[in-house]
Structure 1
C-alpha cells in the first residue's frame, strides 16, 4: 500500500548523554521552539554514558509545554510492563497528553542480564513483547471494572487494579526489523519505528508489506499503523551525492518518495546538532508538507486516521458516520474508542450512544446539531451527566457533551455578575468564586453540571436565602435547533429567556450563563445523623422546624435503610448562609431533638468546601428509578405516606427545603412556576418495583414535580411539571424556536403556535 493518508509529523532523536545532563533538555526545548512535534530519546539502561531515559522524559516534560515525548525505544526487559503502563499514564496526565510509547524487545542481552534482566532468545523476546502490550493496554483500560488478569509465559497479572487511564490515546510504536517482529507490529501495534541505516528505503517497502499482511490477517486496516523513521547519518552541509547529504531541498526530494510510496508519516532527525534540528524543523518539515499536500491533492488521497475494524462493527445503524463534518471528527467518540467508557453513561443511567460529540465551542455545538438533525436517532445534551433523571445519554443515539465549555469568570464584581460555561461543575464554580467572596446556590454535590441545573431550576444549599439558581440567571448564550447562536436575556429573545429558566432542555443548547452571585464567605455546615425508626414523626418535626427557621437556614435530609431488617437512618445536612455562629447554633440546636442522634458535627467552612468537585467517572447505576414531588408541608398525613415508602421498596428518600426566597419569585416570571411549596421530595426505587412504587408515590397526592428528579418522562407528567398556563406558553415558545421538535428527548413539550 502506498500513502496511508496520515498527517505528517516531525521530531528529533536525541542522545541522553550523562556527561552533559542539561544538553538533552536544552535540545528538547530547542526542538519545541523550532516547531517540531516530537522529541525522542534512545534507551539503554545499562549504558553509564546515558541518563536514565524515563527520568529524562519526566524532566523534559516538566520543562516543555507543547511538544510530545517518547522513548526511542524503551527497553522492555528492564521495564516491567504493568509499572511502565502506570508510569506512561501518570506522565501523560501530568503533561497534558504529550507522552507516546516506543517499545523494543531488547537486543543487548549480556548487558540486560548484567542489569538483572532475563535473557531471552529473539523469538522469546517477541512473545514477551506481545504479552507486554496486552498488559499495558489492560492497565490503561480504566473504564473496565473487572480486575486485570493475564496469564502469560513472561508477564502475568493476577487481579491487578486498572488505571489510571492516560490523558490521551497513547500509541504504542515498536522498533522492529525481523519478520516476526514486523508481524507483531501489524497485529497489535500502533506504529513501526525503524532507523534509516539499519534499514534501507527498499527494506521499508518490504517491512510495510509484512506489516500490512499481518494487519489484514488480524482484522485490522493497515492504515491503523503509523510508519515512523529515524533519519540517521544526514548532513545538511555536504555537497550532495548521497542519501540525505545536501541542502534542505535535497532532503525534501529524497524523503517525498518515502512518504508517498512507503507511507512514512513521522520523520525523526537523529542529531545533537542544534543547527541541524532547526534546519530540519524550519525548512525540511514545511517543504515536505507542502510537497506531499500537492501530490495528495492531485491523487485525491484519503487522509485521516483509520477506524479499527472492531470499532466499525459497533457503530449505530442509524448514524451516517461518513457524513460527520471535519469540525467534529477530532472531538467525536464512537463505540470502540478508548474514551467511550468515560462518556457513554451518566451518574444514574448506563447508556450506549452511537456517537458522543465533546463540543468545545458554540460553533461545534451548531455543527453537531446540524448533523444530528439529519440522523434518525435520539439526541441528548449533557453538561455534567450527574442529573438523576438520566436524560443525558441514550442507546444508539447522539450525545452532545458540552463539558469542555467550563470557564468561570467574574465579569463584574460590583454587580456580582459571573459568566459560567455550561460544562462546568458546580464545585469548580464554587472554588473559582471563593476568592471573590461569592457563591451561587447550586445543588448539594460538586460534580453536578451547570447546564442541566441552571436550565431546570436549581435547588441548592443556599435555596431558602438565595432562591433557585435560575432566579439569578440574567442572560444566556444559546445554540438553537437551526444552528443560530443567540443571546437570551430580558432584552434579547425575552420569551426564550423565560423558557430557558425551567424548561431549557426543550429549547436549545445553552453554552454559557450570566448569573448574579450572592455575597457569601464562610457558612456554617452541620451534619446530623438520626435513628429514624419513628420515620413519620421525624419527618413531621423536620418540616415544622424548617418552616419556622430563619431564611439563612437550608436543610436537606436523606433517609435510607441501614440494612435488611435494620432501622431507617436519616442524615440531615444543614447550611447556615453566613458566619454568625451564634445565630447558626441557635437555629440548628432544635434539630437535635428530632430523634436519637447517632452523630453530630458542625463547622465554619467556605461554601466551596461543602460542594467540592469529585470528578467521579460515571458508569451508570442500572436498576434505579426516581420519583419526584413538590409539597407545601410535611404534615402528619404526608409524613406517614413518605415513611410507608420504605415498606414498598424505596432505597432512599430525600427531602429538600425549597421555601423562603424560592417562593419570592412570581410564578409567571420563569418556566419553573412552583412557588408555593416548601419541600421537594425524591424517592429512589429499584426498577423491578417500579409499578408498586408508582402506586405508593401517587398516594402522596402531589400536584407538582421537579423534572430534574423525575426519571419518568411520559407526557402525563407534564401537567405536574408545568401548570397549564405555563405549559401553553412553553408550547408557543417551542413553536417559535424549535418548530421541528429537535429537542424532544427531555420532557416531551410539543410545539404549538396556539399554545
Structure 2
C-alpha cells in the first residue's frame, strides 16, 4: 500500500503498572513535553498488577493539555459496548476532543472468562466486535431521531437514549491480525493498529491488501483507513545497530519505508524509558516528519485522494472538481468525504456546499479564491466561528474555510503587539495571551471566531474600558478580489484599512490581524439573576446604572421568556476590568437593586477563564433568525415595547450589551464602524415558526433604534445597510468597493454594491 498522505502521529505505548501508578502518569506527561501526539496504554482488566485503563486515561487527560489518549487496545469482552460508547464520549468531551478508541476483540479469552466475561470462540468475538462498533457509533450519533435499538447475536440494546455526542469524530482503531479481523477493519474501522512484533502471517503487505480489498468492496476509499503501528523492541545507541536500535537518524531511515511503501502514518513505541521517549519525540519525530514531507513533495502525493464510486456519486454538478489546483488537492472536502459533516455547517447554521477548501496559509487562500471565482457559484468565507448571519456557509457553492489558520503570536510584548490568524477562536486567543498578562476584548463566548468578529466590531466584556475589538487593529494582511496579498495599515492602503474595520467581509479575505492588546490579568466577574416580570422597569434601571458606572464596568443583560408559569427572567452579567476587589464591589453593588434578585455570584478570575473555548461541534444547531439594533439610551418607551415582546412568548432571548465608555472615544469617521454615540446593542432571536411575529414586534421597536450591529442580523434586506453604515459611510464604502472589488466577488456578508 502506498503512502496516502495522512498526518503523521507519534506516541507511546505505556505499561499501566499498579505498583507505581504515578510513573504511568509521569510517562504520559513526558510524552506531551517531548512533543509526541498520543499516549496509549495497555488494557488488561484481568491483570491485578495493572491499573484500570479507563480510569487512568481520565486521570492522564486531566493532567495534560494537548496530547491525545487511547487504550491500546480496549478489551471489548469486559466492556459492554453501549456503556463504552457513553464512557468514551464523556472522556472525549472532558478532554476537549483528545480521545481515540483503540478496540480489540479480546486477546486473552480465558482470562476474560475468569473475570466474568462470556466464553466465545474467536469467530464469535469478531462478530461481537462488529456489532459493538455499530452500537458505539450509534450512541455517539445523537442526530438520529429516536432511541438506539440493536438486536444482534451477541448484544441487545432495547431502547437506549443516544449521546452524549463526542467533542470530535473519535477514531476507531482496530487491533487486527487475522484475515477476518482485517476484513472488518476494511469495512468499518478508521484505523488499523497492529504491533509490529506480532505481524507474522499474513505479513504487513498481505494484511494491508486484505484491508484494502475489504474497503473497496464496502464502497470505501482504502486511503481513509489510517495505518498505525506499535513497536515494542526499540532502543537508542550512538552507533548503527539493528532495526530501531541505533542513533535517531538511523530510526528515521528505517521508519521512512514504512510510511512510503506500507502506508503507516503513526508509530507508538512500547518503551517506558524516559530517555527513549524524549529522544523519540525531540529527534526522531521531527526528523521523520521532515523526511516524509520531502518525499511527498517529490513523489507528488499531494495529488487528489482516490475517492470511491459512492463518494464520487455525491459530487454536485455546480463544481468542476477536476480543476482544483494541485496545492489544494488534499485540502478540499467533498460531499462524499468522511469529513464533510464536520465542515459543511457553522455552529449556528446548516449548509450543503459543493466544496469546502481548508486553507492552511495565505497562499492557499490566493489559490482557493482564484479557483472559486472561476466556478461562478456562491463563495462563502468562514473563519471558524459561529456564523449567526448564515453567510459563512451556503448551498451548492464553495466555502473557503480558514479554521486551520489559527496561530496566535505575541510579536512585541513591550508594545503589546500581537498577531492573530482569522481561524483562531477568541477563547484560544485569551488563553494564549494570559501567560503574558495581556488580553483582547472580543465577545462573550470563547467559541466565536476571530475573523468574522474582528472585521465587524467586537462588543465584548471589556468594551467600556478598552473599546471595540476593531479599535485595536493596527494592521492586517488581506487577499483582495484580484488575488493580491496586501498588508494594510494607516500608511499602506489607508482607505482599505478604514473599510475592513467594520465592513471587512465585503473587501477581501483577511489572513492575519495585528492588534495592540492591553494589560489585563484578573477581572471581577459577576452574574445576577433577577425576576424580570416588570421588564420595562428593569431595563430602565439597568440602563441608567450602566451609563452611571465607571468605564471599568461592562454589563450584558439577557432576558428569557416565562416558562411553565414562572416569570420572565433576566441575567445580568458584569465584568469589572481590573483586580481591585474593593473598587469592583463598590461599582457592582448598585446592580443588585435593578430588580428582585433570584441568585447572585461574583468572583475574581483570570480574564481567559470567562471566555474559555468550549470546543463546540459546528453542526448548525443554533437559532435561525435574529434582529439587531443600537440604542442611544434605554428609554421608557423602548423598554415598554421590549416588555411586550417578552410577554408575548414569541422571542427566545433578547440580549443587551453595554457600549459607551472607551467606545465613544474613537471619532465616528475613524473607521467603517461609525456608531460612537450609542450606549447599547440589542439583539432578539426567535424560532423559525415565530419569525413573522418577531418582525412585527421589531417594527414597533425600530423607531427607537439608531443603527445596527450587522453580525447579529439575519435580515438581508438591502435597506438595512444604512442602519449598519449611515451616510456618509455607505457612500464611501461603495466607492471603495468599486476600487477593490468591482465584480462584487465578496457579496455574501451583507453585500455593499460597488458604486457605478
Q: TM-score range by the shorter chain?
A: 0.7 to 0.9
Structure-to-structure mapping, 1:29-108, within 5 angstroms: 76-77=76-77, 80-81=80-81, 105=105
Offset at 1:497? 0.6
Shift of 1:719: 1.5
> Are 1:743 and 2:739 counterparts?
no
Q: What is the alpha-carbon distance in structure 2 between the residues aligned to residue 383 and residue 632 of structure 1?
A: 31
Answer yes or no: is 1:678 the counterpart of 2:679: yes
Equivalent residue, structure 1, for 2:276: none
Q: CA offset at residue 193 of structure 1?
A: 7.9
Taking the aligned partners of 1:597 and 1:47, their CA distance within structure 2 comes to 56
Note the C-alpha offset of 1:469: 1.6
Give the equivalent residue in structure 2 for 1:635.
Answer: 635
Distance 1:501 1:394 in 2: 24
Shift of 1:425: 2.6
- Which is higher, the Rg of structure 1 or of structure 2? 1
**How many Å separate the matches in 2 of 1:15 and 1:580?**
47
In the TM superposition, residue 304 of structure 1 has moved relative to its aligned partner by 6.4
Q: Give distance in 1, aligned partners of 2:16 and 2:669.
A: 73
Q: What is the aligned partner in structure 2 of residue 666 from structure 1?
A: 667
Contact 1:142 1:164 in 2 (8 A): yes
How far 1:80 sits from its partner (Å)?
4.8
Assess, with a 3 A threshold, how the Cα gap between structure 1 residues 208 and 732 changes in structure 2: closer, same or farther: same
Secondary structure of the corresponding residue to residue 455 of structure 2: helix
TM-score (norm 1): 0.77
Q: 1:39 to 1:327 in 2, by over 3 A?
A: farther
Displacement, 1:13?
Answer: 13
TM-score under structure 2 length normalisation: 0.77
- TM-aligned CA distance change 1:706 to 1:10, over 3 Å: closer
- Judge conservation of contact 1:654–1:681 (CA < 8 Å) in 2: yes
Corresponding position of 2:241: none
624-633 vs 536-545, which deviates more? 536-545
Question: What's the CA shift string for 1:605-637, capped at 9, x where partnerless?
Answer: 443343333233333345531111112222222
Equivalent position of 1:714 in the other structure: 717
Determine helix, strand or coil for the equivalent of 1:669: coil
Q: What residue is the counterpart of 1:555 in the other structure?
A: 555
Aligned counterparts, 1:280-679, within 5 A:
305-335=305-335, 337-564=337-564, 566-621=566-621, 624-646=624-646, 647=648, 649-679=650-680
Tell me the secondary structure at the aligned position of residue 750 of structure 1. coil
Which runs of no fewer than 5 residues in structure 2 stay unpaired? 234-252, 274-278
Q: Closer, same or farther in 2 for the Cα pair 1:177/1:9, shift >3 Å?
A: farther
**How many angstroms does 1:231 deviate by?**
12
Contact 2:96 2:615 in 1 (8 A): no
Whether the 8 Å CA contact 1:527–1:600 is kept in 2: the answer is yes
Deviation string for 1:534-561 (max 9, x for gaps)?
A: 2223223333333333333332222221
Q: Secondary structure at the match of 1:724?
A: coil
Pairs within 5 Å for 1:103-118: 105=105, 110=110, 113-114=113-114, 116-118=116-118
C-alpha displacement of 1:434:
3.9
- The range that moved more, 509-518 or 382-391, is 382-391
Q: Distance in 2 between matches of 1:480 and 1:126?
A: 55
Greater shift in the superposed pair: 84-93 or 624-633: 84-93
- Which residue of structure 2 aligns with residue 245 of structure 1? none
Q: Does 1:705 align with 2:718?
A: no
Alpha-carbon offset, residue 579 of structure 1 = 4.2
Would you say how many aligned residue pairs link Structure 1 and Structure 2? 723
Q: Is the 8 A contact 1:13 1:42 kept in 2?
A: no
| Aligned twin of 1:692 | 693
Query: Could you tell me which residue of structure 2 aligns to residue 734 of structure 1?
Result: 737
Q: What CA RMSD, in Å, does the superposition of the two structures yield over aligned residues?
A: 5.4
Q: Judging changes above 3 Å, is the alpha-carbon distance between structure 1 residues 580 and 38 closer, same or farther for their aligned structure 2 residues?
A: closer
Q: Distance in 2 between matches of 1:689 and 1:219?
A: 43
Asked if 2 retains the 8 angstrom alpha-carbon contact of 1:477 and 1:488, the reply is yes
Give the direction of change, closer, same or farther, for the CA distance of 1:308–1:736 in structure 2 (3 Å limit): same
C-alpha distance 197-520 of structure 1, shift in aligned 2 (>3 A): closer
1:517 Cα deviation after fit: 2.6
Distance 1:533 1:153, change over 3 A: same
Match of 2:238 in 1: none
CA distance in structure 1 between the partners assigned to 2:40 and 2:593 by the alignment: 67
Tell me how far 1:130 sits from its aligned partner: 1.5
2:418 partner SS: strand
The structural deviation recorded for 1:489 is 0.6
Cα distance change of structure 1 residues 524 and 319 upon mapping to structure 2, 3 Å threshold: same
Does the 8 A contact of 1:532 with 1:570 survive in 2?
yes
Shift of 1:577: 3.1
Aligned partners of 2:7, 2:385: CA distance in 1, in Å?
A: 37
Give per-residue Cα distances to partners, 1:376-397, cap 9 Å, x unaligned: 4322223342243233323333
Cα 1:418–1:42 change in 2 (3 A) is: closer
TM-superposed CA distance for 1:102, in Å, is: 6.7
Alignment check: 8 A CA contact 1:16 1:53 kept: no
Per the alignment, do residues 744 and 621 of structure 1 end up closer, same or farther by CA in structure 2, a change over 3 Å counting?
A: same
SS at match of 2:574: strand
| Distance apart, 1:85 and its partner CA | 6.4
Q: Distance in 2 between matches of 1:209 and 1:469?
A: 54
Partner-residue secondary structure (3-state), 2:728 = helix
| 2: CA distance, partners of 1:267 / 1:591 | 56
CA distance in 2, matches of 1:716, 1:750: 12
Look up the match of 1:246: none
Q: Deviations over 1:164-193 (max 9, x none)?
A: 748676353463545x55654553345678
> In the superposition, relative to structure 1, how do residues 87 and 305 fare at CA in structure 2: closer, same or farther (>3 Å)?
farther
Instruction: Tell whether the 8 Å contact from 1:381 to 1:401 is kept in structure 2 after alignment.
Output: yes
Secondary structure of the residue aligned to 1:563 is coil
- Deviation of 1:498 after TM superposition, in Å, equals 0.3
1:724 paired to 2:724: no
Gaps of 5+ in 1: 234-251
Structure 1 residues 665 and 98: alpha-carbon distance in aligned structure 2, compared to 1, 3 A threshold: closer
How far off is 1:669 after superposition?
Answer: 0.9
Residues in 2 aligned to 1:438 and 1:11: alpha-carbon distance in whole angstroms: 33
Say whether the 8 Å CA contact 1:318–1:396 is kept in structure 2.
yes
Secondary structure of the 2:675 match is coil
1:155 aligns with 2:158: no
Q: Which stretch has the larger CA shift, 462-471 or 115-124? A: 115-124
Change (3 A) 1:326 1:75: farther
Structure 1 position 101, deviation (Å): 6.7
Aligned partner of 1:236 in structure 2 is none
Task: Provide the residue aligned with 2:128 in structure 1.
Answer: 128
After superposing the two structures, state which structure 1 stretch, 363-372 or 106-115, moved more. Answer: 106-115
CA drift at 1:511: 2.5
Deviates more, 1:720-729 or 1:94-103: 94-103
Q: Quick one: distance in 1 between partners of 2:188 and 2:440?
A: 50
SS of the equivalent of 1:712 reads coil
CA deviations 1:449-493 (Å, max 9, x no partner) are 222221111122222232222112111122223333221110111
Where 1:131 maps in the other structure, the secondary structure is helix
